[in-house]
Structure 1
Amino acid sequence: MTNPTTPKQLRLIIETEDFDAALRFYRDTLGMREQAAFATDGDDRVAILHAGIATIELATPTHTRNIDQVEGVPPTLPASLRIALEVDDTTAAVTNAESAGAEVLAPPTQTPFRSLNARVQGPAGWQVTFFQELETVEERQTRVGFMTDVDRDR
């Protein structure tokens, strides 16, 4: 029996003053297909865009700063909200975002975690990390430092 309180979907809500620019970036530039949209009179608009599988990444401030350093994001950038999107080709995703006007904050960089990461400044104050996995989850789990609390407790 499944637990009726187990989440079935993660929805990230981005409030933006420039709805059309954000929609063009996330839907048209990044290729997130529009799942649903709703509008009433005036400026009451919402678009729900499909982003594949959603996960929540919990990170300590130390880890967040370490990721900034690994990705090559300058330490002078103010703290901000960030989403990470897994893609098949990080370099192509950055090129695509940059050609649509996004500022590249960090070019594609191979991380110690065996992924190729890059970061751009998206609309409405959100930074977007593109990441391309360079090994499978199973391969990663065999490496030192990659275990869950459940694995650690065994």
Structure 2
Amino acid sequence: MVDDAPAHHVPTHDAPARVRQLRLVVEAEDFDAAVTFYRDVLGLPERAAFEGEGDARVAILDAGMATLELANPAQVKMIDAVEAEGRPSARIRIAFEVDDSAASTMELVDAGAELIAEPRETPWRSLNSRLHAPADLEVTLFQELGES
């Protein structure tokens, strides 16, 4: 019998990784406000910062482990329903794992983020909130709640 189902790649952990780092590059119109928000309020440590001619500036902030989460439209719609009462998310949304989603959400709102959705428990046992943050980014904060 021939199986016409698409093959799924099973990762092998013995093979060396070809990609060493995921770096998301975001243009921030108000650079100082964005650095203050993400570095000082959210707490992403600064790895490096560089300045160049014509007031060119960049700050490289460490966000811990990076993953690339690819989701089909049905999954995105389901996440939007759970996380933000069905409000469609931006095509690219940044998710940060934090220790206390509720407290971190309020800190970011106090620092200028627009609250899209209050922290709420998801079916996958995390506490998620959604915000519109500096540098025109849509952000999800999530706190893993562990086993029930």
Is the TM-score greater than 0.5?
yes
Q: Which moved more, 1:38-47 or 1:77-86?
A: 77-86
Query: In structure 2, what is the Cα distance between the partners aligned to 1:78 and 1:106?
Result: 11
Aligned to 1:115: 126
Once structures 1 and 2 are overlaid, which stretch shifts more, 15-24 or 99-108? Answer: 15-24
Q: Which residue of 1 aligns with 2:144?
A: 133
Tell whether the 8 Å contact from 2:101 to 2:129 is kept in structure 1 after alignment: yes
Match of 1:85 among 74, 88, 96: 96
Aligned-pair Cα RMSD in Å = 1.9
Q: Distance in 2 between matches of 1:84 and 1:63?
A: 15
Counterparts of 1:1-154 in structure 2, within 5 Å, are 3=16, 6-75=18-87, 79-135=90-146
> Match of 2:37, as an amino acid?
F
CA distance in 2, matches of 1:16, 1:73: 28
2-structure distance, mates of 1:52, 1:35 = 11
Q: What is the percent sequence identity of the aligned residues?
A: 53
Amino acid at match of 1:109: R
**TM-score, structure 2 length as denominator?**
0.83
**1:18 positional shift:** 1.2
Number of equivalenced pairs: 135
Counterparts of 1:79 and 1:31 in 2: how far apart (Å)?
23
Unaligned runs of 5+ in 1: 141-154
Q: Deviations over 1:36-57 (max 9, x none)?
A: 0111122211100001111111
Letter in 1 for 2:58: V
* CA–CA distance in structure 2, aligned partners of residues 27 and 56 of structure 1: 21
Instruction: Please report the TM-score for the alignment, with normalisation by the length of structure 1.
Output: 0.80
1:124 to partner: Cα distance: 2.1
Matched residue SS, 2:138: strand
Distance 1:102 1:65, change over 3 A: same
Q: Distance in 2 between matches of 1:89 and 1:78?
A: 22
Name the CA shift for 1:78/1:67 in 2 (closer, same or farther; >3 Å): closer
Once the two structures are TM-superposed, the CA of residue 2 in structure 1 deviates from its matched residue by 5.7
Question: 1:17 offset after TM fit, Å?
Answer: 1.3
C-alpha contact 2:95 2:142 (8 A) present in aligned 1: yes
Give the aligned partner of residue 146 of structure 1. none
